[in-house]
Amino acid sequence: MSSAKIAPSATALSATIKHLSVNPRFTSRIPVTAIGRRSKSLGVSMCSKALEPLEVCAKESATTPNKLGDCPFTQRVLLTLEEKHLPYDLKLVDLRNKPEWLLNISPEGKVPLIKLDEKWIPDSDVITQALEEKFPEPSLATPPEKASVGSKIFSTFIGFLKSKDSSDGTEQALLNELGAFNNYLEYNGPFINGKVVSAADLSLAPKLYHLEVALGHYKEWSIPPSLTYLNAYMKTVFSMDSFVKTRAEPRDVIEGWRPKVEG
């Protein structure tokens, strides 16, 4: 297992400070790791108890030791922590060789896991919901009627990726889902909840990243340029600081999908 202390990215820092000054919940719980060496010039009191980094178990890279691996569910959780400006402490796990301690804290042996209130919580759906409840500001909540936008893209992507028969309709099924999302963005975008990034984007964006890398590599396939709103959306979310910081290297994504492609 490797461990790394993570502080929110530079752009997240200024927002954290703004957030601290208006949210009484944090006026006595300054996240020292988020402030780091710049703390002296910020004029916030450091004598109160710090917000301890949250412990997160994540997949370790299969190609580079001590690096974050390819897991869209883990990236969703890390994006949520980044966008909420919460410090975290990453524990990287080699999932090909699951350590005993992982199975002790989560019998399923899956990541992501996060420790909240001394309890390990599995599953990105449950974790992101718990983070929203425990740390409501800044809010990432997606209105319920928009929460499932784009939710069939991932399963249709896997269907197409695994397909060995080019006429079995799996490519068309994926194109239908991507086209529907493109149309949604045209009238409701640029993000799923309009002008602001929300939890639904943080769930979908890592999956779109896997789709782009894996289909590009294994099928020499890319999203049609005619889906302009979708292409613009991906360009925007993939270049967010929080996304760049939490994404796996393309070669890890390619290795991660190899068993599904090669069977």
Ligand X SMILES: N[C@@H](CCC(=O)N[C@@H](CS)C(=O)NCC(=O)O)C(=O)O
Active-site annotation, residues: 71
In the complex, minimum distance from the CB of residue 112 to ligand X, in angstroms, rounded to a whole number: 6
Question: If we measure between CA atoms, which residue out of 242, 220, 222, 251 comes closest to residue 67?
Answer: 251
| Residues 75, 127: Cα–Cα separation, whole Å | 12
Q: In terms of CB distance, is 190 or 250 closer to ligand X?
A: 250
Q: In terms of CB distance, is 16 or 61 closer to ligand X?
A: 61
Our finding on whether 71 is near ligand X (CB under 6 A) is yes
Q: Dihedral of CA 7/10/12/16: which sign?
A: positive
How big is the site for ligand X, counted in residues (CB under 6 A)?
11
Q: In terms of CB distance, is 109 or 159 closer to ligand X?
A: 109
| Residues 142, 111: Cα–Cα separation, whole Å | 24
| Residues 142, 198: Cα–Cα separation, whole Å | 6
Our finding on whether 94 is near ligand X (CB under 6 A) is no
Q: In terms of CB distance, is 110 or 247 closer to ligand X?
A: 110
What single-letter amino acid sits at 129? Q
Residue 18 sits at the vertex; the CA angle it makes with 12 and 23, to the nearest 5 degrees, is 115
Q: Which two tokens stand for residue 119?
A: 């309890």
Site string for ligand X, 198-227 (x = CB under 6 A): ------------------------------
In the complex, minimum distance from the CB of residue 151 to ligand X, in angstroms, rounded to a whole number: 13
**Cross-strand partners of 89:** 5, 55
Residues 6+ apart with CB under 8 A from 49: 28, 29
Q: Identify the residue among 35, 51, 59, 140 touching ligand X (CB under 6 A).
A: 59
* Residue at token pair 């709103």: 229
In the complex, minimum distance from the CB of residue 69 to ligand X, in angstroms, rounded to a whole number: 8
Within positions 99 to 138, which residues make up the interface with ligand X, using CB under 6 A?
A: 109-112, 123-125
In the complex, minimum distance from the CB of residue 197 to ligand X, in angstroms, rounded to a whole number: 19
Note the residues at the interface with ligand X (CB under 6 A): 59, 71, 73, 95, 109-112, 123-125
